[in-house]
Structure 1
Amino acid sequence: MVRLLRPFGRAVTYTRWLHLFIAVVAPSLLLFVREAWWIWLIAAAVLAPAALVPAMRTVEGLQARLLLTGHRHDSGSTGIVVAPSASWGDRGRLVVWLESRLLLGYVTMTVSAQLVFATADLVAAPFGRDVEEGGPFLLDGHHWWHALLVPVWLLGLGVFVLVAGHVITALALRLLGPSPVERLAALEERTEQLLERTRIARELHDSIGHALTLAVVQAGAARAAGDPAFTDRALDAIEETGRAALEDLERVLGVLRESERPVSSRPTLADADRLLESARASGTKVDASMTGPLETVPGPVSREGYRILQESLTNVLRHADCAPARVRVAVADGTLTLEVRNPLTGHIPGPGRGSGLRGIRERAALLGGHARTGPDRGDWQVHVELPLS
């Protein structure tokens, strides 16, 4: 019983009723001046050209969103748009909406008024008042049991209001909802947001993970060495790496806080020496070879190449016990080739394990390249080829 009565306690049930009455305010006022059926035809004829105005869709959308769904702003769940009409299809649907709203408003006003008048007659009948002619329900006499029918008509009025509200809301979702073009645009925007979130998560994983790995390795090496001079160098390296990680973190958080605020540029392969020096400072012997015009590498490729190199060196420090690493970066024949190799240790990660390796393959695929990770001739290798075009 409580579940059945719950809709009658919701404000949106009655704002939907109000929405239907608003549609017939103007014709109803004209009926007080002159009672004629053709006033409704004039109202319907006026609404058709009004629907061709692009801004009318915004007005109707805002009103429907507020009164039919109870949302002032689009939270992504109302399904009613407030953008101006952008095509003739939008205008055509708006014409159907306005005419349907007028017709349903007329029916709602008529039935609601008749039910209210009938209820009043039922209340007055036991006290000697005659039922007015022309009402929908005519009962002879002045019997006390007429009052017992009042709850029935009130329940009928409530059910009618509830049903009419659901009907007009369903029409609004159908006729004021996004067009296929708008749905596609919203889907593309959502996809871009998800891709941006994935990129930011990958950025945080690469930069912060690299910094923490270096800090752990440096601290462990300093403790094992027991040499004050080495400890000082390790602390300097930890400080520099931490400062760089904080810069990356601030840049990423800046993107999250204010998407339109300009942020500092992401590191590129021109900054690769910083990665190599950080790895060497951790006690890892790094043999690096960089050939070709790195300065000509396009920005997106250079930035992703930097992150791939960073993640590859992080894996060496994390999983290879600071084993010697060979790094080769080459630009030739329209391709950027990046390879990091280190001798295999007892721990051999599977080629598909770890978010870092998966991130490397995803970065390469997004740029139209490919990546190979796994054992190769006694070494663990990360081999990536990225097209420059």
Structure 2
Amino acid sequence: MSGSRWRGRTADTALVLAVGLVALVGLVVQSSGIDTTAEWTALVVVLGSSAALCVRRRHPVPVGVVALAGIGAYGALLHKPGPIMLVFVVALYTVVDEGYLRVAVGLGLASVLAFAVADSYNRSPDTMNGATLLHAGWLIAVIVGVTRNRRAYLAEAQARAIVAEQRMEEEARRRATEERLRIARELHDALGHHLSLINVQASAALHRPDPTRSEQALTAIKQTSKETLRELRTTLGVLRQEGAEPLVPRPGLNRLGDLITAAGRSELTIRTELAETRSLPPEVDLAVYRIVQEALTNVARHAGATAAVVRIRPDHDDVVVEVEDDGTSTPGMPGSGILGMRERARALGGSLTTGAQPEGGFRVCARLPLPAGELA
């Protein structure tokens, strides 16, 4: 920033020196030397109006007025237009470039009149000096050219601003969509599993009017509903503390035993095969737990299975999660549960496959990548 500012000041200083030098040399050549009081006064006018260009960016309109006054004074002193016109052209350019178009038009008209008066002293009966017409043409070219460039610049800046705003809106919509999907996935995983188990236990109690079994079912419903409330509090705690560590720990492999116990209350025999792993990153740990949870929910609801096996093992730089059952039925179209598991795997750069096994039953397999050194 400071370098570009320095280069800008250097360029402005060089421009002022060049314009002042041209105006000064032009005065000397035009007057064939500086001898009279009028010529010395004109010299002061040239130097003063040229020096005013140093502040043309901060005060464009006052500098334009000073340059116009310089033209009038020059013409009144020497009775002819001169190279001081170059000083006024630079000042007028700045006025237009800073957006004061109406002021620039007024200054231009006034300068043409001043040149016309000065030019009238230098006309012969048979010829007409073309300085006034040349001056007017230059001013029109300056005003039109700078105005066109400024309008093009403003149009380009406006277009860029619109594009940037559209990108920001699209990014905000994308983030809002991702947040809605994340909330929906968390709530589905937190509530769907336990409510499905409650539904299975309630159905068993209704279809088997055995007091002992009914008591077992009600006990299971009580435990499952308690776990549901705890899961709901955990999920809401996470959602309310965006960008901060949740007050309630999120579930992971440390709670896999509780998950297996709860799923086993639905008369489903579950075997676990866990290879030794080190502590997983929080996002991977949560994904493993949720995938196992959702897979067991599908087994209890859809598969008609009596046994299932859960395997969690390292595989090179990945952790592999497998849930297999011996059911005779499989889900039809993929529901939100399978889609949610697949979304969790993809969010971590992994993959998830599901399908019936040749020997019967259904298999869910997720492969989640891990940073180097996370596996034993």
Q: TM-score, normalized by length of structure 1?
A: 0.51
SS in 2 for 1:288: strand
What is the CA–CA distance in structure 1 between the aligned matches of 2:206 and 2:156, rounded to whole Å?
72
Alignment partner of 1:383 out of 354, 365, 369: 365
1:271 CA drift (Å) = 1.0
What is the CA–CA distance in structure 2 between the aligned matches of 1:302 and 1:321, rounded to whole Å?
28
Equivalent residue, structure 2, for 1:173: 158
Equivalent pairs counted in the alignment come to: 250
Q: Confirm whether residue 325 of structure 1 aligns to residue 319 of structure 2.
A: no
What is the CA–CA distance in structure 2 between the aligned matches of 1:110 and 1:356, rounded to whole Å?
70
SS in 1 for 2:349: coil
Judged with a 3 Å threshold, the aligned counterparts in structure 2 of structure 1 residues 365 and 172 are, in CA distance, closer, same or farther, namely closer
1:254 CA drift (Å) = 0.8
Contact 1:320 1:344 (C-alpha < 8 Å) held by counterparts: yes
Structure 2 letter corresponding to 1:387: P
What is the CA–CA distance in structure 1 between the aligned matches of 2:166 and 2:349, rounded to whole Å?
28
Equivalent residue, structure 2, for 1:73: none
Structure 2 letter corresponding to 1:214: L
Equivalent residue, structure 2, for 1:245: 231
Equivalent residue, structure 1, for 2:222: 236
Contact 2:251 2:286 (C-alpha < 8 Å) held by counterparts: yes
Alignment partner of 1:304 out of 262, 265, 287: 287
Contact 2:268 2:300 (C-alpha < 8 Å) held by counterparts: no
1:347 CA drift (Å) = 5.1
Equivalent residue, structure 2, for 1:275: 259
What is the CA–CA distance in structure 1 between the aligned matches of 2:300 and 2:340, rounded to whole Å?
17
After TM superposition, the structure 1 stretch with the greater mean CA deviation from structure 2, 372-381 or 357-366, is 357-366
Equivalent residue, structure 2, for 1:264: 248
What is the CA–CA distance in structure 2 between the aligned matches of 1:101 and 1:209, rounded to whole Å?
70
Judged with a 3 Å threshold, the aligned counterparts in structure 2 of structure 1 residues 247 and 238 are, in CA distance, closer, same or farther, namely same
> Which has more radius of gyration?
2
The percent identity for this pair of structures is: 32
1:307 CA drift (Å) = 1.0
SS in 1 for 2:229: helix
Equivalent residue, structure 1, for 2:344: 363
Judged with a 3 Å threshold, the aligned counterparts in structure 2 of structure 1 residues 340 and 212 are, in CA distance, closer, same or farther, namely same
Contact 1:372 1:383 (C-alpha < 8 Å) held by counterparts: yes
SS in 1 for 2:267: coil
- What CA RMSD, in Å, does the superposition of the two structures yield over aligned residues? 4.5
Q: Confirm whether residue 315 of structure 1 aligns to residue 298 of structure 2.
A: yes
1:364 CA drift (Å) = 2.2
Residues 89-135 of structure 1 deviation map (CA, whole Å, 9 limit, x = unaligned): xxxxxxxxxx99965742367899xxxxxxxxxxxxxxxxxxxxxxx
1:231 CA drift (Å) = 3.7
Judged with a 3 Å threshold, the aligned counterparts in structure 2 of structure 1 residues 168 and 260 are, in CA distance, closer, same or farther, namely farther
Residues 240-290 of structure 1 deviation map (CA, whole Å, 9 limit, x = unaligned): 2322232234224414xx555744332112211121111112x23232223
What is the CA–CA distance in structure 1 between the aligned matches of 2:94 and 2:336, rounded to whole Å?
54
What is the CA–CA distance in structure 1 between the aligned matches of 2:338 and 2:222, rounded to whole Å?
29
Contact 1:269 1:302 (C-alpha < 8 Å) held by counterparts: yes
What is the CA–CA distance in structure 1 between the aligned matches of 2:169 and 2:178, rounded to whole Å?
14
Judged with a 3 Å threshold, the aligned counterparts in structure 2 of structure 1 residues 322 and 219 are, in CA distance, closer, same or farther, namely farther
Alignment partner of 1:374 out of 355, 362, 365: 355
Contact 1:294 1:331 (C-alpha < 8 Å) held by counterparts: yes
Structure 1 letter corresponding to 2:181: T
Contact 1:337 1:386 (C-alpha < 8 Å) held by counterparts: yes
Alignment partner of 2:191 out of 208, 229, 232: 208
Contact 1:270 1:295 (C-alpha < 8 Å) held by counterparts: no
Gaps of 5+ in 2: 1-48, 61-92, 107-150, 372-376
Structure 1 letter corresponding to 2:299: V
1:341 CA drift (Å) = 1.5
Question: What are the within-5 Å matches in structure 2 for residues 39-78 of structure 1?
Answer: 44-46=56-58
Equivalent residue, structure 1, for 2:274: 291
What is the CA–CA distance in structure 2 between the aligned matches of 1:223 and 1:369, rounded to whole Å?
42
Judged with a 3 Å threshold, the aligned counterparts in structure 2 of structure 1 residues 175 and 339 are, in CA distance, closer, same or farther, namely closer
Residues 26-49 of structure 1 deviation map (CA, whole Å, 9 limit, x = unaligned): xxxxxxxxxxx999967752289x
SS in 2 for 1:337: strand
Q: TM-score, normalized by length of structure 2?
A: 0.53
1:213 CA drift (Å) = 1.4
Residues 294-337 of structure 1 deviation map (CA, whole Å, 9 limit, x = unaligned): 44333322211111111101111221246432222223544322
What is the CA–CA distance in structure 2 between the aligned matches of 1:291 and 1:347, rounded to whole Å?
25
Higher relative CO (Cα under 8 Å, sequence separation at least 6) belongs to 1
What is the CA–CA distance in structure 1 between the aligned matches of 2:172 and 2:361, rounded to whole Å?
43
Contact 2:327 2:361 (C-alpha < 8 Å) held by counterparts: yes
SS in 2 for 1:296: coil
